[in-house]
Structure formats: structure tokens, C-alpha cells
Structure 1
Amino acid sequence: MDLVWYVSYGANTDAARLDCYVRGGAPGGGARANPGCRDRTPPRADRPVWLPGGVYFGLESPMWGGGLAMLDPDLPGAAPARAYLVGAGQFSDIAAQEMYRSPGRGPDPAEAVGAGRAVLGEGRYETLLHCGDMDGLPMLTFTAHWSSREVEHTPPSAGYLRVIGAGLEAAHRWGPVRTAAYLASRPGAAGGWSAEQVRSVLAG
């Protein structure tokens, strides 16, 4: 397996944020730098996609503060996301960085492709999901092994909402009204952020 679709539903929907995982560096507003992939080739393509399930915010993001976006594939509905065509080794290195491991010490994507799901540890992004195929290549993402109802929901930070919103608008060609309404409706954000407040953040 040479190429896979890495599918992001959170901050990496923003191409500039993903570039910090590919080429290294710290995203604007982020608290730490990423080492980057061993192969620093930019994604070959990207596509807007929808994943079964729903996104929620919980725990606390070490990078952004506030709640962290995670996918629960058993929630009703579908989650907007962005798929990037990358090398299998690049996907492994991106996943390794999300798991706070060094590039070169990431998971083998073939494990999730074969089983549909691979639980690699107890951490928040240590479960790989095979989300189907596109153009004959597997679509892969990562999330936590627990469900939305098993973890405390936490409102996300303004900076985190801003980068996710920028990615969704770019990928899905959404306007700020639709983007803000979607983000404000997510468990964890709902009740902590109104759609009007999120729109103000996205405009800032």
C-alpha cells in the first residue's frame, strides 16, 4: 500500500495546520511545534468528504486549550471532513505526531484497513478507523477508543474553532453562517458557544 486518504474532521481540515505535521513547525495560535514527516511531500490531492457519525469536543487539547475534537462513529448523522491523499508512511508519521510519538514510530495503516479498526493504545487519538475507500484507496482517520457518552464534554477554545472553521470553509465551500452553526451545535461546544459567537471568532 503506497497511498492512502488521510481524513481529518478537526484542525487538520485546514491545509496550513496539516502542513505543520507534514513539513514541521507550529501552527498560528498553537502551543507547540511538530517535527514533521520523514517524507515532506505535500498531499497529492484533497477532497471534501463526510464521515459516518459525529464530532464532539472533550478533554483538553494540549495544543489549543479547551476541548479536543473527536469522532464518534456511532453518533447519528455524518461529519464533514477533508481527505488528503498522502503516502502510507506519511499517514503513519502524522498519526505518530498526534499520538505524541516520534515520526517513524507510528502505526501501520494496513492493520486498520484489514480489520476496519485498530486500537493502538488508551490515548485520545490512538484508534485508527478505516472509513471506506475512494478511488480504490483506503480512507483512514483516528479518534479515541471511547464513545462520546463516556467522556466529559468540554467547550473548545476560540483559536481551535477558528482553525477548524477555516478548514471546513475551504474544503466544503461553506460560508461563515453554516460553518458557525455546525460548530456551535457540536456536543461540548453547544451551551458554551452560540452560533453568533462562533461567527465572530471566525471573522476575527
Structure 2
Amino acid sequence: MRKVVVLPYQDKWKKLFEKEATKLQQIFRGELLDIHHIGSTSVQGLKAKPIIDIMPIVKDISCIDAYKDAMEALGYELKGENGIEGRRYFQKGGDQRTHHVHMYQEGSPEITRHLVFRDYLRSFPEEAKAYGDLKEKLAKQFPYQIDSYIQGKEPFVTNLEKKALAWYREEQKHKEYVWYASYGSNMNKERFLCYIQGGTPKGATRDNPGCRDQSLPVKEQSYVMKHELFFAKEAGRWQGKGVAFIDPAKNEQSHTYSYMYMITKEQFLDVVAQENSVSHVDLDIEKVIEKGNEVFRESWYGNVLYLGEADGVPIFTFTSPNELLEEELNPPSIEYVRTIMHGLKGEVGLTDDEIVSYLLETHGIKGFMSREQLIQCLGM
């Protein structure tokens, strides 16, 4: 018989989530868009049942049942929707439950509900304490009656969810949004989210701290820049090979593909700071719009450019403060090319032929890499 146990918060819960998330990423690969630690074990200081709740976000929920055997090999049992439309729910551990996986398709309102509830408890420790105390009391009152335990906390949770949603809506009213347009490796959404939520991007050696506000982008879309793309310099994290830059000067003949994320102004400045290896960036966005650009630092990406607007929201990117010299051109590493190809194909939506033809004409690749080499890179 399953016993209801509520424990004080344990630091190891975060590590257990990260370990299991890595296993799930290996199984779902191309289907997986993001993965979140949710539930009580995701809130520091909150008393909880020692069960790790994981929420993967996928492209197509209808494809998930095909992974049943792979999940069973990890010890999971598929429970279908289990009462929530559009969900795929997995349990691990039987009566000694260790993990729950709540899987949703991108765009499901359940994603916001879970994340808002978690973030509200993280932001209001007094609410988290009251919730934890209630769970501890109910666990002692109903140690072998899980249904009574759940029913006992339901009114409190319902009220908490209402307060969390009201808080979230109020927070959204005061946020200023901008578009960040990436033309390089951050076109790969999986990599870019490490700048938002923290972590080490695939193929990288440096861990990103993430943004102060780790909310996901509210909107995404492709965008064509009228600035010339080239690969240059020697990036240590990319085997000493070249990385992407754009010419700060606008050129109506140029056709550089990019992928845009609508994020808050604060998040954009945090991304700029991480890309330039500084703790923070103090930048007047309105001045950047007025002038067209602002060099805030003599570093590789210390020049913030204003590119225009989309949906009434300003578009920004960053590049080198200085005009790059011909001798600085340097072809990118295979890993870097593959990262960009992943973004061009998965996010921008180009075909394999379009990707190869596009990259072949860029400075730093043209004359350095052949069509055959780029086609090999597409094997990823």
C-alpha cells in the first residue's frame, strides 16, 4: 500500500530532475521542445512528497504513444491522458513512486497553468510555507488514504491557483517586450533557451546562468535581415573556428535569415550580458532605437542594433562594434554549422537545398567549404 510521505525540501530534488530530464531528452530528441521541473519539488524550501514532477513540451502529442516501449525500459508506466485532455502521463516507481511525467503539446493552456503555479510559489515563500504546512498536516492525518489527502488540500490549491493567475496577469501588464533576432547559433531554439533558463547548450563548454526572469518567449517567428552575414574570428568554445556576425551597415541587397523571440526588455539585456560574458548590461533601449545602434562595450557582440518593428514591437540584435577585416574571416566548425543548420531547418523552415545554397554564399564559408562538406553537415 502506498504511504503518503511529506518531507522538508531537499537540494537533491533539483539534481534528480536534471538527471531524469537528460534521459528523456535522449528518448524524445527531435520531438522535444523544452522540459520543465514542476510540482512541489521544484520550489526551494517547500515541503513535498519526494516525487519529481517533470513537464516535457513536445511538437506533436499524438506521436508520444510510439515511445511507450522506450519509457517502459526506463521504468515508466503510460497512463494516457489520465483525466486531463491533451496530456500524456507517465508514472515511475509503482507504490514507491519516484517520478511523474506530464507531457503536453506546445500551446496547451496546461503548460501556463503549471508554470504560473510554480513561479508564484517561488516568488511568495509565505504562500509556499502555508501550502507545505497543510500538506504535512494532511499526510499525518491520512497516511494511507491518498484520495483523502488530495481532497483535503484541493480547496487551498484551487484558491492558490486563482491568486497565481491574477498575479501572472498583473505581471504581464507591466512587462515591456522586444524581439531578439538571432542570425547565428541561437536560431536553434534548444540552444537559445539555455540563455533564458540557464544551462549548458549542446556542444558548449560554458554554463549560462540564464535570465532573472526565466519565462519562455511569448512569440516566435522567422525574419529576414538586410545586413550581410559572415563568419569570422577564432572562438575558443567552437574549436578556434569562426562564428556568425552581421555587418552593422544596412544593405538592401542582403538576405540574412534569422529567427526572432519575443522576450522582455530585461530578458534581452540579460541575453546580451551572457553573450558578452558580463554580469549585467546597462543600456537605454529608447536611445538604441533613436540612434539605430549603441556600442556599449568593445567586445565581439558589444554593438546592439535596432532593426525595425514587427507587430508594433521593436526588433534588436547584436554584432561586432568594428568593421571586420578580410583577414579575420574564418570558416565555422562542423559543430557550429550543424547548430545553425538545425535552426534554419527546424525554426526558420528552410529545406536542405535552401540551407546549403544559402550558406555557400556567405563570407567565411564561400571559398572555404564545399557544397559536399555542407551536405555532409546536414547529416547531423
After superposition, the Cα gap between the structure-2 partners of 1:107 and 1:150, relative to the gap in structure 1 and judged at 3 Å, is: farther
* 1:195 corresponding residue in structure 2: 371
User: Mind listing any 5+ residue stretches in structure 1 that lack a counterpart?
Assistant: none
Q: Secondary structure at the match of 1:69?
A: strand
* Structure whose CA Rg is larger: 2
Aligned partner letter, 1:69: A
Which residue among 277, 280, 285 is the counterpart of 1:109? 285
* 1:126 corresponding residue in structure 2: 302
Question: 1:180 and 2:342 equivalent?
Answer: no
* 1:32 corresponding residue in structure 2: 206
CA distance in 2, matches of 1:143, 1:181: 23
Counterparts of residues 136-151 of structure 1 (less than 5 Å): 136-149=312-325
* 1:162 corresponding residue in structure 2: 338
* 1:84 corresponding residue in structure 2: 261
Q: CA RMSD in A?
A: 1.6
Q: Secondary structure at the match of 1:203?
A: coil
CA distance in 1, matches of 2:182, 2:305: 11
Question: 1:69 and 2:244 equivalent?
Answer: yes
Give 1:33 deviation, angstroms.
1.4
Aligned partner letter, 2:208: N
* 2:125 corresponding residue in structure 1: none
* 1:41 corresponding residue in structure 2: 215
Between the aligned residues of both structures, percent identity stands at 33
CA distance in 2, matches of 1:123, 1:150: 18
CA distance in 1, matches of 2:320, 2:234: 13
User: Mind listing any 5+ residue stretches in structure 2 that lack a counterpart?
Assistant: 1-174
Residues 73-104 of structure 1: per-residue CA shift (max 9 Å, x gap): 435412110111000000000000111112x4
Structure having greater relative contact order (Cα 8 Å, sep ≥ 6): 1
* 1:53 corresponding residue in structure 2: 227
Q: TM-score, normalised by structure 1?
A: 0.93
Deviating more after overlay: 107-116 vs 22-31: 107-116
Deviating more after overlay: 6-15 vs 189-198: 189-198
Question: Is the CA contact 1:121–1:127 (under 8 Å) kept in the aligned structure 2?
Answer: yes
Question: 1:10 and 2:173 equivalent?
Answer: no
Give 1:133 deviation, angstroms.
0.6
Deviating more after overlay: 60-69 vs 8-17: 60-69
* 2:170 corresponding residue in structure 1: none
CA distance in 1, matches of 2:207, 2:357: 30
CA distance in 1, matches of 2:285, 2:336: 27
Deviating more after overlay: 193-202 vs 133-142: 193-202
Give 1:188 deviation, angstroms.
0.8
Q: TM-score, normalised by structure 2?
A: 0.51
